[in-house]
Amino acid sequence: MPANILVPEVGESIVDARVAKWLRKEGDRVSAGDPLVELETDKIDLEVTAPSAGVLSRIDRKDGEDVKVGEVLGVVDESAQAAAPAAEAPAAATPAAADAKAGKARATPTAKKAAEQNDVDLSRVQGTGDAGRVMKRDVERVAESAAPAAPAPAPTPMERPAPPAEPAKARTVAPVPERPVIAGERTEERVRMSKRRATIAKRLVEAQTTAAMLSTFNEVDMTAVMALRERHKQSFREKHGIGLGIASFFVKASIGALRAFPRLNAEIQGDEMVLKHYYDIGVAVGAAEGLVVPVIRDADRLGFAAIEKQIRDFATRAGDGTLSLADLKGGTFTITNGGVFGSLLSTPILNPPQVGILGLHKIQDRPVAIDGQVQVRPMMYVALTYDHRIVDGAEAVRFLVRLKDLVEDPGALLLE
């Protein structure tokens, strides 16, 4: 009997998706659990598998169509399996194995896109993900190793002696011809936004129209943190297997400042403020389709090494497209670091329903006055964007001052 292929329920915050790509075509024989179609949501990409064995008898929603949770994508006809000719059985008995050989079922969606862009045969890529799954980094490694060498420079032509100069009276100046217009120089390209990019755009506009956003700024002297990292970087790496970055210092300092000013660790529900006495800190990381904000749960209970490891893991899986919905769900306060891209100063936009977001920036040597003397110090501008509906300006300014004090005296973080 026919079995419907449904858009699955991914999470309470995801109600629609977009059909990114069908991995099978109508008439293909499939086994239960075989990946059939890739869906793109505003948070994660996922594969929908066959509900039962049979033949993919019908595809209802084509590539690029938007769909809702619970809608029918297509139909697998279970009865068609028994009706297939016996001669076809050996070739069709192991469709999952055939896909694995072709590199389809064992590759992430971002890896498949990277393979198409770089003309890489997925069947020749050795996967480093779980169960040998091909990741984006694996495709990029193969693409780089297969890149053609740069062509040798053309030999320089021999110079010819200049002809003798003509008398000035004999020279004439020819008119300069107009530059011909070359067709195609002013081209345009129309690209449909991905589901994630469209949702990011919608949420950013909603944040600006629903919240009373305001930003305040301060600067942090990073001398003490840089010196501490330099003293302990070798022993920290040997003990924990990861470098000691600056992100963990700001996560810890943010928690200390949130404890002092709890309304920045809250959200608005109707006419009530929900003050949260736990600290799930979102850390914005770059991905192919835009920034995503995975969440460090109970960050106040974690040490520096655990925080650094989680951030590194988030960054790796954001690049591979393997972040889960659970990684992105919730969060009470967000930190975003534009400094990794060279930003000196910016005003971050709130991540609703949160009411505070901290923006970090590039560390830059600048002259500052210290005890009446001008010294060159590694300085960083920090920005706090907050919802003025429940956070007063004085409270926001004092929050940044508290954060500044904690970062400039890293030993105080241990007391927190």
Residue type, 34: D
Q: Between the CA of residue 236 and those of 245, 303, 308, 363, what are the distances in Å? A: 11, 12, 11, 22
**DSSP assignment string, 30-51:** E-TT-EEEEEE-SS-EEEEEPS
- Report strand pairing: 281-283 vs 333-337: parallel
Collapsing DSSP to helix, strand or coil, 20 comes out as: strand
Residue type, 320: D
d(CA 250, CA 407): 7
Whether the CB-CB separation of 61 and 55 falls below 8 Å is answered with no
What residue ranges in 247-394 does DSSP mark as E strands? 266-269, 272-275, 281-283, 295-296, 333-337, 356-360, 364-370, 373-387
Whether the CB-CB separation of 211 and 355 falls below 8 Å is answered with yes
Collapsing DSSP to helix, strand or coil, 265 comes out as: helix
Collapsing DSSP to helix, strand or coil, 18 comes out as: strand
Q: Is 331 left (phi over 0), alpha (psi -120 to 50) or beta?
A: left
d(CA 384, CA 377): 22
**DSSP assignment string, 278-310:** S--EEE-B--TTS-B--EETTGGG--HHHHHHH
For residue 95, cis peptide bond before it (omega within 30 degrees of 0)? no
Rounded to the nearest 10 degrees, how much is the dihedral formed by the CA atoms of 271, 277, 279, 282? Answer: -10
Q: Could you list the active site residues? A: 388, 392
Residue 383 forms beta bridges with which residues? 217, 359
d(CA 300, CA 294): 16
Collapsing DSSP to helix, strand or coil, 27 comes out as: coil
* Dihedral of alpha carbons 164, 167, 168, 169, sign: negative
